[in-house]
Amino acid sequence: MSRRTVLGPGDDCAILASSRAPRLLTIDSMVEDVHFRLGWGAPEKLGAKSLMVNLSDIAAMGGRPTACVVNLAVRAGLDMRFFDRLYAGMRSLARETKVDIVGGNVTRADKLGITIALLGEVGAAAMRRDSARPGDEIFVTGTVGDSALGLRILAGKLNASGKTRRALVERHLSPTARLGAGLALARMRPVPTAIDISDGLVQDLGHILERSGVGAEIDAAQVPVSKEYRAVMGDDLSLALGGGEDYELLFCLRPGRSEAELGRRLGVPVRRIGTIVRGSRVLVRDARGATRPEVAGWDQLRGRL
């Protein structure tokens, strides 16, 4: 436990030292047969991912995670060994990211479920979704679409083998929250607009557009995909634009920053994928330069993917 935690697990409540920094608070659940199946990966990975999805929300605001509480919904048929391994995975990621697990609760249920509420701290200014302006450039970290492909492989809906299969499945089971990149972004002025990509690039960009009252033009050819994605999907970008659980950061900045400068600052590859415009629509420009004006909004686009 860190010094921020005055009293950890074992009493009715945890006691946390108060902090002058503004607090972030987020919660997320992973439920069996909704978000995962038990046969898909090791319990350690499941434990880590259930914390990771929360870390990603803290990263998206430019914060530093501090402490969490865990609620475990337990069904019949799972032994102590399983839960030891699940907790081991969660604890290992918590240690790595300096998060104190300060309490928990266990309840009986029909399905296994892991819910984590995570606290974080943020410096002078948090990155929000409501600050994008026309002319801002839109960037994304890393690559998108791999996790959705990994999910389809695990669900038996897609075939891939060898290294390609392993890389895509791993991306789904063990995603990485962009905590360092989030912290670096939040130090920039003006403070960037940002979101983490959990639902899919176009849908999550849509959340920024909605909150900021703007539209966007995306250059499909610039959307970053991995070589494994290319190997399976070729030029089809539907899962890069619409697949979920990438946990990359999508952010908007006033124009004039190069991908190289941002990559150095954030410590991850960064790609410029488009521009914020007036309006409320997402226009996706394809490789031939043709826009798809029939796409009226991100939700309709989502429907087409």
Shorter beta-carbon distance to Mg ion: residue 25 or 260: 25
Size, binding site for Mg ion by CB under 5 A: 3
Those residues whose C-beta lies under 8 Å from the C-beta of residue 237, and which sit 6 or more positions away, are 145, 220, 223, 225
Query: For the chain, what is the HEC assignment?
Result: CCCCEEECECECCCEECCCCCCEEEEEEEEEECCCECHHHCCHHHHHHHHHHHHHHHHHHCCCEEEEEEEEEEECCCCCHHHHHHHHHHHHHHHHHCCCEEEEEEEEECCCCEEEEEEEEECCCCCCECCCCCCCCEEEEECCCCHHHHHHHHHCCCCCCCHHHHHHHHHHHHCCCCCHHHHHHHHCCCCCCEEEECCCCHHHHHHHHHHHHCCEEEEEHHHCCCCHHHHHHHCCCCHHHHHCCCCCCEEEEECCCCCHHHHHHHHCCCEEEEEEEECCCCEEEECCCCCCCCCCCCHHHHHHHC
Shorter beta-carbon distance to Mg ion: residue 57 or 245: 57
Q: If binding is defined by CB under 5 A, does position 196 make contact with Mg ion?
A: yes
Window 103-132: contact mask with Mg ion (x via CB under 5 A): ------------------------------
Judge contact between 73 and 107, C-beta under 8 A. Answer: yes
Q: CB of residue 158 vs Mg ion: minimum separation in angstroms?
A: 26
Tell me the window of 40-48, 113-121, 189-197, 275-283 that interacts with Mg ion (CB under 5 A). 189-197
Q: CB of residue 204 vs Mg ion: minimum separation in angstroms?
A: 7
Tell me the window of 1-9, 15-23, 53-61, 258-266 that interacts with Mg ion (CB under 5 A). 53-61
Q: Which of 32, 57, 146, 228 binds Mg ion (CB under 5 A)?
A: 57
Shorter beta-carbon distance to Mg ion: residue 195 or 218: 195
Shorter beta-carbon distance to Mg ion: residue 188 or 194: 194
Cis peptide before 134 (omega within 30 of 0): no
Q: CB of residue 206 vs Mg ion: minimum separation in angstroms?
A: 13
Q: CB of residue 197 vs Mg ion: minimum separation in angstroms?
A: 8
Q: If binding is defined by CB under 5 A, does position 246 make contact with Mg ion?
A: no
Q: If binding is defined by CB under 5 A, does position 44 make contact with Mg ion?
A: no
Tell me the window of 112-120, 198-206, 230-238, 263-271 that interacts with Mg ion (CB under 5 A). 198-206
Q: CB of residue 60 vs Mg ion: minimum separation in angstroms?
A: 5
Shorter beta-carbon distance to Mg ion: residue 58 or 220: 58
For the chain, how long is the longest CA-to-CA vector?
62
Q: CB of residue 250 vs Mg ion: minimum separation in angstroms?
A: 10
Sites of contact with Mg ion (CB under 5 A)? 57, 196, 198
